[in-house]
Amino acid sequence: MAEYEIPELRNIPIIPKVEVGTMAHIKSFMAKESMQTALGFPGELVDDWEEKLLDKMDDLRGRYRSLQVYLDSCVKCGACTDKCHYFIGTGDPKNMPVARQDLMRKVYRRYRTFAGKFFGKLGIPGFVGAAELNKDVLDEWYSYFHQCSQCRRCSVYCPYGIDTAEISMAAREMMDSIGVGQKYCNEIVGKAQTIGNNLGLPERALADTLEGLEEEVEEDIGVAVKFPLDQKGVDILLVAPSADFFAEPHVDGLIGYAKVFHEAGASWTLSSHASEAANFGMFIGSYENMRILSQRVRKAALDLGVKRIIFGECGHAWRVAYSFLNTLAGPWDFMDPKYPVPQHICEYTYDLIQQDKLKFDKSENDHMTITFHDSCNVARASRMGNKPGGQFDIPRAVIKAACNNYVDMPEDTIKEATFCCGGGGGILTDDLMEIRVKGAQPRMEAYNQVVKERGVTNLAAICAICKAQFSKVLPYYGFGMTDIISVHQLVGDALLLSDAADSNDAEDVGGEE
Amino acid sequence: MSALFAGIFYIAALIFVVGVGRKIMLYARTPAPLKIPTTPAPVTQTGVVLRMAREVVLFSSLFKSNKWTWVFGWMFHVGLLLAFFRHLRYAISPNSFLWPIVSFDLIQAFGKYAGFAMLAGLGGLLARRFLVDRVRYISAPSDYLMLVLLLGIGGSGMLMSFVAHPDIIMLKEFVLGLFFFDLQPLPTDGLLLVHLSLVALLMIIFPISKLLHAPGLFFSPSRNQVDNPREKRHLAPWATKFDADQG
């Protein structure tokens, strides 16, 4: 299956021994000149790149308090050292959050602090944790800042809240600014900015796909569930990750959302202009690019005249939507003030369940025992509902409303302590397969535990990246690639549609909740 | 000797106050353009104050992370704080309204024995730097020396407290003299001079080292932001130009 060793599953918790350099060979494909220039970055490594890199660092330190405070504040206490899934899966010490940050911090200290300049001139910058900037350092940046999925697990455990995601985003933006970009992220940002989604799916193809889905669903259940596109004057704009349009198991989630809207009698639409929930501008730390992508959602909302915006199942997308959309594309004063902007599809479904507007036949999901994978950026960078922690409770409540058999994975691997799937933050590319497989190991180990001890059969998630990543890496660990399912697949499969031919059967199971 | 130490302390105090002050100004002036609290996060300002208080007083995130580091780190910091309170009586005149507080027996007694907690904590942290492979990997010489410096301060202080007492009355006159620019003789006790030199060194390196974690924590956006991005639009001054461009 691959030329590297597939790790054996161990019992959690695991703290590996340090093995220097095991992942130093990892290098994702670099962005071509055209992909760079499309985003306003230099096409190749510029002359005087050292100076320009430091200039960019100064620019970002001046614009982001997080970067300045985090570069200064780390005391090297070691609290984060065993928290990153990439370290747990590889033992490479540069995958310890503090060591990853130090790749930048040592340069900052050398050129921008008194201690680093002083000992640097004496020829011993390492005495105070500083280091000279050279091509080797840049290569290490490129390698290890693309082995961070920006999942924020380290920031939960840091006594100062230092978030390696902030450092790796800044590092990627600094590298982009001197012409060293990553192909996967930058190509996708370009596609989403010009075509409207990460897959580069044009309007016509999208319309065909949705028509196909309508036919398929009607054939399957005998109900004309609609998948409207670019319909003006409806109440709700649904912004889904583009993987939902065709990838497995994503598309089953999309069918689930459509059934919920159908049953609720809601008028809704997708948009071909904003046909992507994900915002890879965040992965490359670029406020400007992230804003351009967010503005597409605003334009779609204005053009279609909707009153609410709902985001589909997508992790980093929900972070940008929940935490940043108001900043980047607000104010949303033209929307229905009764609802927050934007809402998560799980919030929407949950509210309908609370109002008793959805009926389920949970036995439809009885062939499975489900566990829930908290997606990192939903868990640690956003919220659902009114209360802190709603991002944990609401998806679980939705699952339990649709399933009889639910089990949580061990406490130190879920909720705020959840492990990233191993593919987030710009890592979900074939050229990074080795780090993806190894980074998934902590999650696989936690999953294995509930499979063995509690008879769990499936892993549900609310993130397009998690779903794509798991369907790829589950087989490496001896599980089925279809173990991973969408939360709204569970909802869609168990939901009783009142206009279905056999809706009378609903009466005896509907009151079970 | 007295003039030399007076000079050292004036310079150290100046570097400390100006250096740390400049950093605090820098942190305060630099915008946080996006809402990035590590969630679940408080949804009110009061909640943020409580969250920060738990971090500052109890080191709650560190507690979640690693119990050994937490025990040693907390012992050291609390020991240092109590020892600091005890030291106030060397710098406050008996005529001051603060005197009844700083001379309070409990503060004096706690402060005296807190030194042991401080040294034990520092010893534990130093041992971790040597013994735990992950922590060893991330430690620069300055990380070890910082602990050695603090051990030196605590050790020399404890020796003066329990073994060889310096002329404390004379020291106090020297310290009070510093406040009024009225130079008084400093006891030439070896331990005391070592103790004072190391403290001055600590003050000097504070603004140029990782000791900045002290002010840094209060400015950490992942800890000090309210989780209310949907309710309240958050916009950095430098980002308003985009809104203006959009018209």
Domains present along chain B, CATH in parentheses: 2-227 (1.20.950.20)
Q: What is the pLDDT of residue A502?
A: 61
Number of residues that this document lists for chain B: 247
Angle between helices B190-205 and B2-29 (to 10 degrees): 20
Q: Which segments in chain A show pLDDT lower than 50?
A: 1, 503-513
Measured between beta carbons, which residues in chain B are less than 8 angstroms from residue A173? none
* pLDDT value of residue A509: 43
Whether the predicted pLDDT of B99 surpasses 90: no
β pairing state of A308-311 and A343-344: parallel
Contacting residues of B for A17, CB less than 8 Å apart: 133
Site of tokens 């959302």: A257
Nearest to A491 by CA among A355, A391, A393, A395: A395
pLDDT tens readout for residues A95-127: 999 999 999 999 999 999 999 999 999 999 999
Q: Which residues of A88-126 are buried (b: 16+ CB within 10 A; e: fewer)?
A: bbbbbbbbbbbbbbbbbbbbbbbbebebbbebbeeeebb
ipTM given for this complex? 0.96
Q: With beta carbons less than 8 A apart as the criterion, state whether A438 and A149 touch.
A: no
Looking at CA atoms only, how far is residue B184 from chain A in angstroms?
34
Q: What angle separates helix A203-221 from helix A250-264, to the nearest 10 degrees?
A: 70
Per residue in A414-451, pLDDT (tens digit) is 999 999 999 999 999 999 999 999 999 999 999 999 99
d(CA A293, CA A31): 19
pLDDT of residue A418: 98
Q: Which residues of A are less than 8 Å from B33 in CB distance?
A: 63-64, 287, 327
Mutation site for B-interface testing, chosen from A20, A57, A72 by largest number of B Cβ within 10 Å = A72
Q: What is the pLDDT of residue A456?
A: 98
Task: Quick: pLDDT tens for A126-140.
Answer: 999 999 999 999 999
User: Which of B161, B25, B24 minimizes the C-alpha distance to B90?
Assistant: B161
Cβ of B127 under 8 Å from any chain A Cβ?
Answer: no
The CATH classification number of A33-181 equals 1.10.1060
The closest CB to that of A163, out of B30, B36, B64, belongs to B36
Residues of chain B contacting A81 with CB distance shorter than 8 Å: 134-135, 138
Report pLDDT for B102.
77
| CB atoms B212 and A72 under 8 Å | yes
Q: Which residues of A touch B219 (CB under 8 A)?
A: 65, 69
> Is B44 near chain A, with CB under 8 Å?
no
**Rounded (to 5) percent helix, strand, coil in chain A:** 55, 5, 40
**8 A C-beta contact, residue A341 and residue B53:** no
Asked whether the beta carbons of residue B238 and residue A63 sit closer than 8 angstroms, the reply is: yes
Above pLDDT 90, what percent of chain B?
85
Nearest by CB to residue A115, choosing from B138, B208, B236, is B208
Contact A161 B246 (CB under 8 A): no
pLDDT at B134 over 60: yes
Biggest CA pair distance of chain B:
74
In SS3 terms, B208-222 reads as: HCHHHHHHHHHCCHH
What type of residue is A186? N
Distance CA A241, CA A250 (A): 9
Distance CA B52, CA B58 (A): 10
**Number of other residues whose CB lies within 10 A of the CB of residue B115:** 21
pLDDT tier at B246 (50, 70, 90 boundaries)? low
Q: Do A383 and B66 touch (CB under 8 A)?
A: no
Residue B96 has pLDDT above 90, yes or no: no
Question: CB of B68 within 8 Å of any CB in chain A?
Answer: no
Neighbours of B46 (CB within 10 A): 10
**Helix A97-112 / helix A65-73 crossing angle, nearest 10 deg:** 100
Q: With CB atoms and an 8 Å threshold, state whether A79 touches B62.
A: yes
pLDDT at B243 over 50: yes
Question: How many beta-carbon pairs below 8 A join chains A and B?
Answer: 213
Which residue is listed with tokens 């008793």? A356
The answer to whether the Cβ–Cβ distance between A159 and B61 falls below 8 Å is yes
Integer Rg of chain B from CA: 22
Q: How many CA atoms lie within 13 A of A55 on its CB side?
A: 8
What stretch(es) of chain A map to CATH 1.10.1060?
A: 33-181
- Distances from the Cα of A409 to the Cα of A85, A309, A454, angstroms: 16, 32, 9
* Candidates B213, B221, B233; nearest CB to A75: B213
Q: For residues A456 and A371, is the Cβ–Cβ distance under 8 A?
A: yes
Q: HSE on the CB side for A398, CA within 13 Å?
A: 33
Task: Find out whether A277 and A511 touch, Cβ atoms under 8 Å.
Answer: no
Contact A68 B231 (CB under 8 A): no
What's residue A4's pLDDT? 78
Cβ atoms within 10 Å of A21's Cβ, excluding its own: 9
